[in-house]
Structure 1
Amino acid sequence: MDKFTSMRAFNAVVMEGSFTKAASRLEISPQLISKYIGQLEESLQVRLLNRTTRRVHLTEAGQSYFERCQQILQDIDNMENDLTNLQNQVTGTLRVSVPMSFGIHHLSNPITEFQQRYPEMRVELFLTDRKVDLLDEGIDVALRIGHLKSSTLVAKKITPIRLSLCAAPQYWTQHGIPQDLVALSQLNYLRFTYSDLRSLLVDWPKSVSIQDFKSDFASNNGDVIVNMAMQGRGYAIQPTFLTGQALARGELVALEHFPIESLGLYALYSHREFLASKVRHFIDFLSEYYGDTPYWDKTGQLDELKLPNKGY
């Protein structure tokens, strides 16, 4: 059995949702697709797919294998693309979707440098916090911030995204510094509508309910939330690429004793047999530009503010 051929057949079935569509995509017969899947399951001694008359569904084992299979096939394709496109020029139009606040604050300079390096590249940048359909909207690559979830898209982590729990110094002075989640829940949370507070704060105790948290303001834009926090309206949990300058100026003060789950900046693109050279070069450029520690996190940590503890 050709393991890689069977893996590609399996991957195509999952991506297309049916044996027939997968066969059309790979330009082979549905019977041969079925044979490859059967051989793969026999080799692994596990069922990967549950078949119905209309659609196929991944088993738990199939979901795990699909994620690993995607990465292996992607690595093979990348290796072959590196050789095939070694001498290719990076040209054409690159359509990029990016979260609004991140795009406004931190993407103009790298795109400028990218186009200086590849002067024949044209870039169309779309700022939106909604999830876009890459194929339907003709997007080459989407930058997204969060935790990597199972998807039919290929995702590559560009750089880590740290979050800070912070408020204006006068807010902490007036209300005191909370020492645990119970005390924190009694303060005013300036909520970002696209995030789940429970998924951000680590070591969430069973005794604390999300309904216990007070909040009189929410927005789908991080810049607005940071500005509200600077005005002393409450505390916020926002990325350091938005809060960093205010923290450095002392307009916001972060509490370090609340552990917060880090996120990541990911580049998402449609799975293709041969990744376009312009997309590959752009993703590689951003990875190099931001690095393992992005520039907005290299200014050093601020000391925790020492304020009176008002009974918390």
Structure 2
Amino acid sequence: MDRIDAMRAFVAVVVEGSFSNAAAAMQLSPQLVSKYVSKLEERLDVRLFNRTTRKVSLTEAGTHYFEHAQQILLSIDNMESQLGGLHQNPKGTLRISAPVSFAMKHMAKLVTDFQTLYPSVTVDLQLTDRKVDIVEEGFDVALRIGELKSSSLIAKLVAPIRVVLCASPEYLAKYGMPHEPKDLKNHRYLHYSYMERNTKEVIHPWLTTESGQHRGELTSNNGDLLVNAAIAGAGLAVQPTFIASEAIRKGELVIVLPDDEPKTLGLYAVYAHRKLLPHKIRCFIDFIDGYYGSPPYWDEPIQNI
């Protein structure tokens, strides 16, 4: 027996004055309403109504139970109304995890535009290149870059992520422009430590040692640092264009081996559940879809380089 349904049936009998009137108000049969109340009395082990052929009246226990039941049902109805309001007008805190460099360069305006549309949503944006556990760490959405492996999480593609091998004109003037992949073996390489091998930073086997480890005269877990090092002439860097495109447009970096460009990756919005998705999450997922354009705005000036 559903305890709440039984409680509603009991309150309806009190308010409507009879089992038949309560049944009509609840759009149930009188037999089912009577069964609900009888089961409730069995559970409580008290008699709630004095019944005659003409009317029903509350017992002393029934009077006390009615006062409490009304308050409980009112609280439940208020809660459901508030939750319905959350569905219609999203509010609350939206916790997002995002990669450091991408968020620093491309998420401030997105969050501002999102909150302009949904002013009752507070955004808690946490930046990390570490792969967070969404459920364990309490995030609503995580933005991830790469080739996602199958999991129980839901992943929506937000934008393609183009990756290029690049270096400064000064570096190339000093060490020579590579014309084919094997030319890379004589060059300095700036390695991004979070790049997984199966995402084809594995751009070329010439960028790994004989044991299969990544080469790297400089290794860092931050792409902005590596791009700045490449601009300074430290070596070749494999980096996404959302970091490197500005330097490429300015001529501070040059794309190397454009015909052997690494495989395009993806920026994904990852979240835990598809059913009964909180409205604040659904609104964010819908909002970010297509937000950066196709191709993304950071790629438009350098598509043919």
Checking the alignment, whether the CA contact within 8 Å between 1:94 and 1:123 is kept in structure 2 is yes
> How big is the shift at 1:181?
2.1
The answer for the alignment partner of 2:155 in structure 1 is: 155
In the other structure, the counterpart of 2:255 is: 254
Structure 2 equivalent of residue 165 of structure 1: 165
Q: Which runs of 5+ in 2 are unaligned?
A: 1-83
SS state at 1:183 partner: helix
Distance 2:108 2:85 in 1: 27
Q: Match for residue 290 of structure 1?
A: 292
Deviations, residues 174-230 of structure 1 (Å, cap 9, x unaligned) = 11111222211221110000114564258857xx58215742110000010001000
TM-score (norm 2): 0.67
CA offsets 1:134-185 (integer angstroms, 9 cap, x no match): 1111100000000121112111111100011100001111111112222112
Letter in 1 for 2:134: L
Say whether 1:134 aligns with 2:151: no
TM-score of the superposition, structure 1-length normalised? 0.65
Q: Report the AA paired with residue 210 of structure 1.
A: T
Q: Is the 8 A contact 2:189 2:207 kept in 1?
A: no
Paired amino acid for 2:93: T
**Aligned-residue offset at 1:92:** 1.3
Closer/same/farther in 2, CA of residues 214 and 135 from structure 1, 3 Å limit:
closer
Paired with 1:196 and 1:137, the residues of 2 have a C-alpha distance of 23
Q: What is residue 124 of structure 1 aligned with on the other side?
A: 124
C-alpha contact (below 8 Å) 2:114/2:284 kept by paired residues: yes
- Aligned residue for 2:148, secondary structure, equals coil
- Residue 87 of structure 1 deviates from its aligned partner by 7.2
Distance 1:254 1:94 in 2: 38
Q: Distance in 1 between matches of 2:207 and 2:224?
A: 27
**What residue ranges of structure 1 are gaps of 5+ in the alignment?**
1-83, 304-312
Q: Deviations over 1:230-270 (max 9, x none)?
A: 00000101010100110010000112122211110001111
Amino acid at match of 2:270: L
Stretch moving more, 265-274 or 134-143:
265-274
Check whether the contact 1:201–1:259 (CA below 8 A) recurs between aligned residues: no
User: Deviating runs (4+, > 2 A) in structure 1?
Assistant: 84-87, 196-199, 201-205, 212-215, 300-303
Would the alpha carbon gap of residues 273 and 197 (structure 1) be closer, same or farther in structure 2, given more than 3 Å must change? Answer: closer
Structure whose CA Rg is larger: 2
Q: Distance in 2 between matches of 1:111 and 1:234?
A: 35
Cα RMSD (Å): 2.3
Residues in 1 aligned to 2:109 and 2:117: alpha-carbon distance in whole angstroms: 12
**1:6-56, CA deviations, whole angstroms, 9 ceiling, x for partnerless residues?**
xxxxxxxxxxxxxxxxxxxxxxxxxxxxxxxxxxxxxxxxxxxxxxxxxxx
> What are the residue-to-residue correspondences of 1:1-312 with 2, within 5 Å?
88-196=88-196, 199-200=199-200, 210-212=208-210, 214-255=215-256, 256-301=258-303, 303=305
User: Contact 1:186–1:214 at 8 Å: present in 2 too?
Assistant: no
